[in-house]
Amino acid sequence: MKKAMIAASIVGAAAAGVILYLTRKNGGVKGLLNKAESAADDARRMANRHLRKSQQKINTMVNETMA
């Protein structure tokens, strides 16, 4: 029990240190959010491109079967 309390204290102190570091660091949390936003935007662009290509392929296949 004593070891578990010590381990929990260490983990809590480390988490508090990380939170303080990110909030005090210049652009810490904002930088992380900007990176997440950029990754989401890249994923959206890739999905849109894939969807357009898929639609073009389907239209080509349908037009070939009709001819």
> 34 by DSSP, 3-state: which?
helix
- For the chain, the structural domain boundaries read 2-66
Q: What is the pLDDT of residue 40?
A: 93
What is the per-residue DSSP string for 5-31? HHHHHHHHHHHHHHHHHHHHSTTHHHH
Q: What is the pLDDT of residue 27?
A: 65
Spans of the chain, pLDDT less than 70: 25-28, 67
Q: What is the pLDDT of residue 25?
A: 66
Q: What is the pLDDT of residue 63?
A: 87
